[in-house]
Copies of this chain bind each other. A is one copy, B any other.
C-alpha cells in the first residue's frame, strides 16, 4: 500500500506518523511546500516576542528525524501542483531544482491547511506589512522588528493571533495599536467576556480601535501610514495583518473534489473526500458543527491532530472511527489574562435561531483564604428545557484553562447542567474551593432552569420603566461608590426588615456586585409575595465593564 500525504504540519504529520505505526510495511511519502515540517505553529508569536528564545525549539520534528523514526519519505520544499484522480498520481515541483515529477498513490491524504487573508487594499504589498502563518513569515518579522527604528506597531485584526502578536510586540517595547473591524476583540466570544479583556488590554497601554476598518496603506520614509475608514491615520513601523485565514482548497477544487458550503474541502465522518481514495484533514476541511448542525471550518491545532490520527486509523483498519466534529474549543493568553471558549456563543446561537438561556457568574480560582486566588468570570449558555450546555466562555487570570476544559468536555458529549452540578472536582485550597467555579456556574444555571431565579442582562436596562423598582442590594459603601440609574439601596442583610419599603405590585429589578447577593435578595422577595422580580446576571461589575467599553467604541 502506498500513501501520499500533502502537507506536513499538524494534521498531515499526525496522519503520517500514525499511518506508520498502523502499517509498518506501507510506503509513505509526504510532501511539504515549505522548508520545515511539523513545526510549532502556535509558538511563532512567542518566538517573535523572545518568550521562546531558541529557534530550534520550534521544530517538533525535522525531515531527517521524521524519516529516521518513522521511515517516511519526506519531501520538503516540494509543492504538489495537481492531482490526477483517474491515474491516481500527483504532480510535484521541487522548488529548489524546479524539477516537476509525478508520484503514484493508492490513497492520498490532503492536509494543505489555511492561508492568511490579505484583502486587496491599496498599498498592502508595501514594506513592513506582514502576515504570520509559517516559519518563513516568522523569520521575516523577527528580523524586521529587531531593527532599532521599529517602535510603532499596528496589528490589524483582534483575533487569537492578533492579540498574541500585540502582547509579544508590546513586550519588545513597542507602542502597539490594535485595529479591529468588529465592535469587540475576539469575535468568537460574547461581548461581556470580550469587554473584560478589552479593559485589561487597555490597562497595559495597548491602544484598541474597535469598529474600525483599514482602507489602505501609504509608504512613508520609515514605515507605513495606515489609513482607517474613519479618516484617521496611524503611523506604523511594522504592520501585522491578522484578519483571519481561509482554507487552502485550490488543489482539491482543481482536482474536482467537492467543496462544501463553508468553503472547506468536503469530507464524510471518516475524513474521506468525495473521491473514495482521497482523504483530507486539518484547517482546509469542513464538517458539521454538532451544536448548530451547520457546516463550518475551524483553524485549530487540536482538531487537526486528532483528525490526522482518525484518518490514519480509518485508512488502515477500515472505516470504524468517526470524527464527531469540533466545538471550537480555544484559548488565548493576553498579558496576565486568559480567555477561553467552547461551543457556540450566545450571539451565534441567536443567529442560528437556537433557543437558549445565559448565566454569568464570578468565582475565585481557588479558596479565597489561600494566597493568590483570582476572580474569573464564567458565562454559559444552555437549552431552556433540559439544560443542555451549548457554550462556555471564561475570562480571568488563573485556572481559566482548567474550568473551560471541563465545560468543553460536557458540551462535547451533549451533557447537561444537571451533570455539572454533580461534577466532583479535586479540591484542596491551592487548587479550588469546596464548590468549584464550574459547580457555581451550574448551580446558578440550575436555579434559572427551575425558575427559582429569574435573570436579566447588562444590556436590558432600557426595558426598565418609571413604574418599576430598581434595588441595589449591595452595602451602602458599595452603592455610594457607584450605582446604576436611580437604583435605591437596600443591602441584602437589611432586606427582611425593610420589605415595607418595596411595593408588592411592581416589577422589582435587583442587582448586586456579581449576582449572588441579588439572587439571595430575589429568593427573599419571591417568597414574600413579590410576584415579579428579576436579578442582574453578572451584577454591577459586569454591567459597569460592558457599559464602559460600549461608551469607548
Contacts and interface: CB of A to CB of B under 8 A. Distances in A.
Given A426-B401, A427-B300, A428-B332, A58 B369 contact: yes
A106 interface: no
A210 interface: no
A410 B428 CA distance: 20
Most B CB within 10 A of own CB, among A46, A324, A436? A46
A401 B438 CA distance: 14
Q: Chain A interface residue count: which class?
A: 35 or more
A423 interface: yes
Nearest to A52: B369
Given A52-B371, A409-B423, A333 B302 contact: no
A443 B14 CA distance: 13
Interface in A272-315: 300-306, 309
A526 B300 CA distance: 34
Contacts of A425: 302, 329, 405, 408
A118 interface: no
Identical chains in the assembly: 2
Contacts of A331: 426-428, 431
A435 interface: yes
Most B CB within 10 A of own CB, among A368, A424, A524? A424
A367 interface: yes
Given A42-B427, A402-B402, A422 B330 contact: no
A45 to B, nearest CB: 9
Contacts of A40: 367, 369, 429
A175 to B, nearest CB: 24
Interface in A1-47: 10, 20-25, 40, 42-43, 46
A228 interface: no
A426 B405 contact: yes
A532 to B, nearest CB: 17
Interface in A380-404: 401-402, 404
A311 B46 CA distance: 50
Nearest to A42: B429
A460 interface: no
A176 to B, nearest CB: 19
B370 A46 contact: yes
Interface in A66-119: 68-69, 71
A25 to B, nearest CB: 6
A406 B406 contact: yes
Across the A-B interface, give the 10 residue pairs with the lowest CB-CB distance, nearest first.
Answer: A24-B527, A331-B426, A402-B402, A57-B369, A301-B434, A401-B431, A305-B434, A329-B424, A302-B427, A340-B426
Given A43-B429, A331-B428, A408-B424, 9 more contacts: A69-B492, A160-B428, A301-B434, A302-B427, A304-B434, A329-B425, A331-B426, A401-B402, A413-B415
